[in-house]
Amino acid sequence: MGKGDSSLGTEARLRDRPERPIRLSARQREVLTLVAQGATDNEIACRLCLSSPSVPEYVKRIRKRLGANSRAHAVALALRLGLIDADPPEQLST
């Protein structure tokens, strides 16, 4: 099975689970929105008043919940599922 086949399988599994919709906490949505905007872990930590080590843990849990293979895959799935908005990036200040 190729790498592309795996992501298609994940998306099909997510679509075929109407009994348990995927939900992210407000904080997880904030983190993933900043990931989608290209923020680094340190920028996300500063912006959301989190410790630097906690940001990768948030991303790890988000990826697990979505069944995503990477940060980019998590963003793509969340956008497709309407869990985060595709608004233009805000100015990130560090």
> What pLDDT does 21 receive?
81
CA–CA distance, 87 with 22 (Å, rounded to integer): 21
In angstroms, how far is CA 29 from the centroid of its own chain?
A: 7
CA–CA distance, 22 with 66 (Å, rounded to integer): 7
> What pLDDT does 35 receive?
97
> What pLDDT does 14 receive?
58
> What pLDDT does 22 receive?
87
Rounded to 5 degrees, φ, ψ at 81 are: -90, 0
Residues in the chain, pLDDT under 50: 1
- 3-80 folds as Arc Repressor Mutant, subunit A (1.10.10)
> What pLDDT does 11 receive?
61
